[in-house]
Each structure stands twice: as C-alpha cells, then as structure tokens.
Amino acid sequence: MDLQLDQLRALHAAVTEGTFDAAAKRLQVTPSAISQRIKALEDAAGRVLLQRTKPVRATESGLAVLRLARQVELLAGDTARELGAAHSPIRLPIAVNADSLETWVLPALAAAPAGICFEIHREDEEHTTRLLRDGTVMAAITSTSTPVQGCKVERLGAMRYRPMAEPCFARTWFGNGATAAAYAVAPVVLFDRKDDLQDRHLRRRSRQMLDPPRHYVPSSTGFAEALRLGLGWGMLPDLQSANLRDTELVAIDGDAFIDVPLYWQQWRLDSPALSSVAAAIADAAAESLR
C-alpha cells in the first residue's frame, strides 16, 4: 500500500475533529481536499476506512490505519523538535481514570517537557485498554497488567480505597458496626454503572450479593462531596481522604481497604516525547502510590 503522509493526516484530523469541515480548518485546507485525500487513502487500502456519520467514525479497518496515522504524527513531531522546530507542538492523547486525574496525574503531566499538548480521555481504569486497542490514545493508566497488542506495560503502584462516610451518617447506619445487615440497607454512592469497587467491598463483607439504595455521581470531586454531605458511604482513595478532617469523613469498617493496582501502558514507539511523559508519570507514581 502506498499511504501518503497528507492522507494519513487527513484521516487523523477527521476522526479527531469529528467532521471534514473541522478537519479542514485544523489542516488549513478545504473540506473537498480532506474528502479527496481520505478517498485516495481508502483506494490505496482497498477498504472503507470511515463511516460518513456525524461525527465521522473509523471502521474496523480504519482503526488500524488510524493507529498508523497517529504513530506517524507523533514521530514526525519528535523529529521536528529534534531539528529545532520548538514551536511545533506534539499532541499526545492519553487515557486516565478519574481518581488519578483528580489527585496525582496532572502534577506529573505538568513536569513533562514543554511543547506536548495532552488530550486526556477520562475512563475507568478497567476500561482504558479499549482506547489503547482501538488507537484512540497512545498511552493509558490501566488496572490491566497484560499488555495490549503493540504496547508495553510498567507497574506504577496501587491506589488504596477505604469505605468512608460522614460521621452522622456512620452513626445512623453503622451504629452497631459494619455488618452485612447494615450494608444491605445503608445508601451507597457509586461513580457510575461501571464502578464495581463498592460492590467488591460488599461481597467481601457479606459473602453475598447486596443491593442497597444507590446514588451515581460521575465526578471524582463530586463523589467525595456526596459522601461529605451524607448521601451515602463509598470507597474513597487515601489520596483524597487525606485532605479531609475527621469531622468530615470517617472510616466505617475499621482497617478494611481495597488496593487497585495501576499500570502504565503505551505504544511501542521510539518516541522521546512519549518516553518523557512515561518517566514523569513513573516518578509521580513512586511518590504518590503504594
């Protein structure tokens, strides 16, 4: 296949921006030029690469070519910087779980070299590998130690979570202890419907499936605030609860905790930009995680 650089850039821009018009604006060409380049790319590949929907979406074949396009763009950016084009930014899409994003990841990214523009996709750590697999991101913080095809993996450590609640809530619902009977009726706060952490703790404590009243609060900061306001109990990372006073939140189940292991997965590319970000993430994790 004879895949041209301008064709790959057109594909990448179209998927990233969502429309041919937006892709044309980003690349400073006409929408017709974007359409022609993508059509030529599809002819070269012998496959339909894009679904012409709003927003446009890559087909299964398109995802394979999209990964190549993003790899080429990253390496081209590295080369431009090596040749002295310091003004040439490098766009680096990464996937990060909400709790890491709200606690230790942003300071780590701030320590990365200047000139890297981050596109952060917030996703549960158990689902970030999907974004790696389909080429949406080049690196991800994940709970999966098995590397995605074409990626390498490094263990970062673990985030420790404890069942926490507002003191009055704890006295009302767990006055006689954190028993299975109490857990069965006490309201609980979850991040979203993918969040299994609270149910993991319930299964450990009761050895059965419990279905207490549930609140869903899809924000890491909002989740902690929901606990502080007494909406329910929930599994809060030590990195967040350390900033709260005992009068705001208390542990409701002694020393019970769950450690969630975290790993850094990234594409196997000889990219100085990607390597520098990986190093910054590893240094921050060494200071923040267990």
pLDDT tens digits, one per residue of 43-60: 999 999 999 988 999 998
Which pLDDT score, from 0 to 100, does residue 95 have? 95
Average pLDDT over residues 195-224: 94
* Whether residue 165 sits in one domain with residue 76: no
Would you list the DSSP string of 199-264? Answer: HHHHHHHHSS-----EEE---HHHHHHHHHTTS-BEEEEHHHHTTS-TTT-EESSTT--EEEEEEE
Tell me the mean pLDDT in the region 90-104. 93
Question: Which one is predicted more confidently, 208 or 29?
Answer: 29
pLDDT band of residue 134 (cuts 50, 70, 90) is confident
Shared-domain flag, residues 252 and 167 = yes
Does some domain include residue 138? no
Spatial contact of 249 and 70, defined as CB atoms under 8 Å apart: no
| Residue 257: half-sphere exposure toward Cβ, Cα within 13 Å | 15
Let me know if residue 175 belongs to a domain.
yes
164 and 76 in one domain?
A: no
Q: What is the pLDDT of residues 238-285, one digit of tens each?
A: 999 987 777 899 999 999 999 999 999 999 988 999 999 999 999 999
Domain membership of residue 4 (yes or no) is yes
105 domain residue, yes or no: no
Cα separation of 198 and 162, whole Å?
A: 10
Residue 54 covered by a domain: yes
20 inside domain: yes
- Residue whose pair of structure tokens reads 């990195």 in the numeric block: 239
What is the CATH number for 201? 3.40.190.10
- Where is the domain boundary, 59, 88, 117? 88
CB 229 within 8 A of CB 164: no
Where a domain ends, among 88, 109, 126?
A: 88
Residue 98, domain member (yes or no): no
The residue out of 34, 61, 88 marking a domain boundary is 88
- Number of folded domains that form the chain: 2
CATH of the domain at 59: 1.10.10.10
253 and 170 share a domain? Answer: yes
Using CA atoms, how far residue 226 sits from 41, 101, 231, in Å, is 50, 18, 6
What's the maximum distance between 2 C-alpha atoms anywhere in the chain?
A: 71
Q: Per-residue pLDDT for 22 more than 70? A: yes
Confidence of residue 29 (pLDDT cuts 50, 70, 90): very high
Contact 244, 200 (CB under 8 A): no
Percent of the chain with pLDDT strictly greater than 70 = 98
Distance between CA 137 and CA 10 in Å, rounded? Answer: 17
Establish if 286 belongs to a structural domain: no
Give the residue-averaged pLDDT of 34-50. Answer: 93
User: 241 is in which domain, residue-wise?
Assistant: 159-260
| Across 160-186, average pLDDT | 96
What pLDDT does residue 240 have? 92
Handedness of CA 125, 130, 132, 137 (dihedral sign): negative
